Structure 1
Amino acid sequence: MRPECFPLDTVCEAAKILTGASDPVAAMPSVLNVLSSFMGLETGALALLDDSGGKAGPINPFLIAATTKGSATLPATTGALPVEVTRTVFRTGVTLVSRDVTADIGPAGLPKGASHDRYAFIAVPIREQVHSPYVIGVLGAWRDLTDGGWELLDEAQRVMTMIASILEQSIKFRRLVARDRERLMEEARLALRKANEKDVGPVPAPPQPIEGVIGDSPAIKAVIAQIRKVAPTNTPVLLRGESGTGKELFARAVHALSDRKDKPFVKVNCAALSQSLLESELFGHEKGSFTGAVSQKKGRFELADKGTLFLDEIGEIGPEFQAKLLRILQEGEYERVGGTRTLKVDVRLVTATNRDLEAAVARGDFRADLYFRICVVPIVLPPLRERLEDVPVLAQTFLTRFNAENGMDKRLTPEALNLLTRCQFPGNVRELENCISRVAALSSGAEIDAQELACSQGNCLSADLWRMQTGEHSPIGGLAARMPLPVIDSSRDPRPAPSPCPHPSPVCSAPAPSAPPAEPAVPPQDDRARLLDAMERAGWVQAKAARLLGLTPRQIGYALKKHGIEVRKF
């Protein structure tokens, strides 16, 4: 009876498994089992070249990366594949088909635990790339010939060759990512080691202050020290911190202290643009590539060549664009939208986010390989509540700037400065600047007293922000969601109106852990209204609406579909 085989079904199933797997080697046991079920090729295995750089050993050293029992790194001598035959395929790059293993190879060529000697063996090379003489792997399998099937060996060879071709690019990419990650981790270790090294020799002159950075607290000094150490290198920097902590200011400092200071500094707010517009903005486009593209436009990467590119709100980009961004960060090359010519750029990348990227990676919202690419040297910017000793000098600086812009000469009393240092400022430095501008514009005299501050008059919104802060939804934004809630004085009015700062309040008392207040149940019919309101306030930009509601852009997209809301385009 002629054995059955299904070559087309085998290739189709193998392609489905490999193209849908993030790690092709981990998916190979399933492919080998498909070969066994559909083609009768038993006890197959995948061997990969051992290029780990260990001590000298045999020519073409290899490891068994996968068998029908699972994926694992096993030594070549385990018997999963004939050692000498496998090395021959590695050396010559020629497919080997033995119709009689015992006669051609000897007993060493039989599968482990074989009960007889009537087996055929097939081994096909997996090359680094098409037509390359360099072989990086060997796919091998046996066929039991007790029931015949010699005439099917040529078909089996062709099927295994097709599967090897599918594997070629996947394994190459896997190895490149692994090497790149190791290199990036080593660069990070060297950069951090350099940052932590103590200066020796003569006492150096005091460093010049960084333009725009105000404060002398230990927290801000530590950040400045990291910036000064990392800036002269080309290492990617990820600035992390809550909204209003001055991420763009420190990104400019990284550029100004680097060797690229005389080259362009280009910034892009990723949250302010849709994914399609972001691609055109970063990569540029060719004339006629889409409706409205009346001329060629250079992208921000091209404009920042030899300089620094600052990508703010990097955590807001979608998964599809993450893959496109990863390529230019890895290879340094890209094509304009609608173009075919490959462009190369030399750009120092600085990114910033107020999102918890580790949680986004765990959820699958942010690619792990892109995370490792941008998070080489993370620098955490402290919130203002952790550097309250800087509040007086910041307040005086903002008031001086207001006086110069408006031709006034107003001053803050010591009582007012003392009251400001007791506030928590969930909006950080930006909120303090707004607070000073507001009170300076509304005060009637030359001196600004504590009683004229918004928190003393019950007009400060900080208390509401702290009350709305929970572990899941954060009106403050991103990393602030990890902060514990401040203690709420139960003796005061439980309504959400902010309380004055001279007494214990959610804003002026130090934050301490407490359970989030129970939120009233929101009727389901209000969800649509809340979503519409957020979209209207965000100008129908989904990323902005997501921040207003404390959700991710993906959740906003699902909610719009659920409620049947059509996105308006302007």
Structure 2
Amino acid sequence: MNNAATDVTTTAQNAAAPYSGAGTDRLALDAVYEIAKTFATAADPIDVVPDILNVLSSFLDLRHAVLALLAEPGAEHGGGVNPYTIAATAFVHDKDADPAEVIPDEVARIVFRSGVPLVSFDLAEEFGPEAVPQRLRGEGQTLVAVPLRDPERSHFVLGVLCAYRSHEDRRAGHSDLDVRVLTMVASLLEQALRFRRRIAKDRERALEDTRRLLQTVREQNGHKVKPVSLEGIIGDSQAIAEVVAQVKRVAPTRTPVLLRGESGTGKELFARAVHTQSDRARKPFVRVNCAALSETLLESELFGHEKGSFTGANALKKGRFELADGGTLFLDEIGEISPTFQSKLLRVLQEGEFERVGGTRTMKVDVRLVAATNRDLEDAVAKGEFRADLYFRICVVPILLPPLRERKGDIRPLAQLFLDKFNDTNGTNVRFAADAFETICKCNFPGNVRELENCVNRAAALSDGEIVLGDELACQQGSCLSAELWRLQEGSSPIGGLAIGRAVTPSVRASAPPPAAPPVERDRGYADPADSFPRRKTANTAREELIAAMEEAGWVQAKAARLLGMTPRQVAYALQKHGIEVRRI
């Protein structure tokens, strides 16, 4: 602990005597004062959070405090299944351990989803003995958890701050005071993070201006830097340049290529680039989406079939292997084919020969294979879901396509390309204002290039004039759900093929934090919410949706809470807030 934290501890010890009993409020005020001073002088607010948590312990006996934050895209953390990481603790813990061993997983998820403070007066009784962290078992514990909101978007919860109080120290009024103090600490941290982000934005803007100035000077001196452009692949980032260099090196060979990357990174575009840069460029380029066909149809599609081989086979049909003879066959989503068909495909790749469905004549072909997947094939091989011999046959030269968030310098030229295409297609002359480009370039785009194209087309189509302003973008209108995608995922289950990384799209619009909500006591009868309503409900739930849930539940608050993904106390607070009178049936 640094000297400042030591001084704070000494201050708390000296103050404890005169402030005992009725002086608890003054101790809380002193604690908040010390915490505010620490945040005001911190270069990185997260780095001083352990000292802040020790202040809570010294002044108010709030022990074993923890700060959990949403995991960064692609970040590895304990167990790999929790969407959050442990950013700071008031105690020493194993950083490689599962976050659920530090903060109860169910508590963290409830606060992340609801955005409302939660109080559990008996953690073991209400959540089960296994929910109590190992270090706290054996003694009764009250848990208080409050949300940490995104400084740029107050409705978005990016963290959970929680602390414990022993049952030996459960004096009257402590829970309400604990919630107020932790909420104030979370608010101070939010303001510190907002200030830090603004400084970072100014620094990025200065670096960008410097880069553009240097580029202008080079161009004036005749040293124009040419962006990478290969068969429609646009970008000047180092990440995309390395991929293009790999494509150019491997294209002239006959070696099979496996394109790996998240959904929307342009795997088919790179597959075409491999084909056009090879000596097979004048031969066919044939594409098959393996995930779109059943095993029977896929066999017929790839190998062809003889007339009368099955019901509906009224004529001979050549398969994609035959059609791609001398050229390139692109097998998209190859990780989705069944184990039975994997063995049939392996023979073709090894021997270069096959028989049509219902035929006996062996066909020989010369095909260059390019495959693509967003699955973890190594994990599939380990689980027996994908044949190891087929894996080694297709994964000779793996090329990993970088997600768009790792090459943000390419977002602007890509956005301009998509905007030009929109104008050409629709006969319009829509342009983006500078602040619109700035907003787009700050997004992480979990859907990658495909999502960027959708974003540009949506903004251009809905624009009131020829110039799209930053405030007209979906993320500024509250209608962009990309930032919420990964929050809706349970464990490691991907949404829509976003299987490698999960991203949070930051917004650039700042808003004041909402008023603190009252603490929520955990309801013992709480169950997982039904699928008929989303799980992100808070006390800000729309009046109409709240009434609809109450009517479906027969005006039983506990049942409505399960439907909305809330606790009964949250529902009661929302009813009171909207002035809804509970009907008696």
Larger radius of gyration, structure 1 or 2? 1
Q: TM-score, normalised by structure 1?
A: 0.50
